[in-house]
Amino acid sequence: MLELKQGLLNTSRNFRGGNMVKKNLGIIFTGILLVTVVFFYFYNSEELYGNDKDSIVKVIQSIEGYETKQIEILKINDFNKVRIVGFLSNSNPSYIEFHKNEEGNYVWKHIESKNDESFSLFLSSVEGSKMMFVTNNNNKIAEMHVEINGNTLERKFTPHKASVTWIDMPQTNKDSYEFRNYKYYDKGGNLIKNN
């Protein structure tokens, strides 16, 4: 009888030890699960970059005010470490500017849209002084003339077509540019408006 009690006691100790192993395995499993969840949370909540067309659309739609807008990328231009993207936001001419970081990813710095316009001018921060025109399908302007620091600049556009057009600004030894006497013409050469 004593041997039976001794055997039951040993079984009871083994059973309690088994509970301890199960408890430790449970703690380890819970820890691994927690670390995995935290890893995936931070991995999936990384910053968005404008490295390609699809990711540029995601970046734009992550910005307040653009979440539900229909985005159409028209043109992507790279100037050294600056990427400028002309696009339409619900058919409104727009642009977004990205700067390349040390890891080689494009981080957005500036975004702008012109509501209720079909032909819009944007001045960028690109070295070499460039200006960008973004048009939508409602644009009627086929030609523009403008004086920039006393030099007349003429440029043709394709009417009724969404597009991005870059223009190099004339060389100047002044710190700024002065724009005067804008003239816009339709495809028949008729003056549309004069500023």
pLDDT tens readout for residues 114-147: 999 999 999 877 766 788 999 999 999 999 999 9
pLDDT of residue 23: 66
pTM above 0.95, yes or no: no
Q: Identify the pLDDT of residue 32.
A: 66
| pLDDT for 36 | 54
Q: What is the pLDDT of residues 142-157, one digit of tens each?
A: 999 999 888 899 999 9
Q: Over the chain (195 residues), what is each successive 10-residue block's mean pLDDT?
A: 49 54 64 56 65 96 96 95 96 96 95 95 79 95 92 93 91 80 94 78
Query: What is the pLDDT, as a whole number, of residue 55?
Result: 96
Write out the DSSP string of 105-169. -EEEEEEEE-TT-SEEEEE---TT-EEEEEE-TT----EEEEEETTEEEEEE--TTS-EEEEEEP
Domain residue spans of the chain: 69-194
The Cα–Cα gap between 105 and 124 comes to: 20
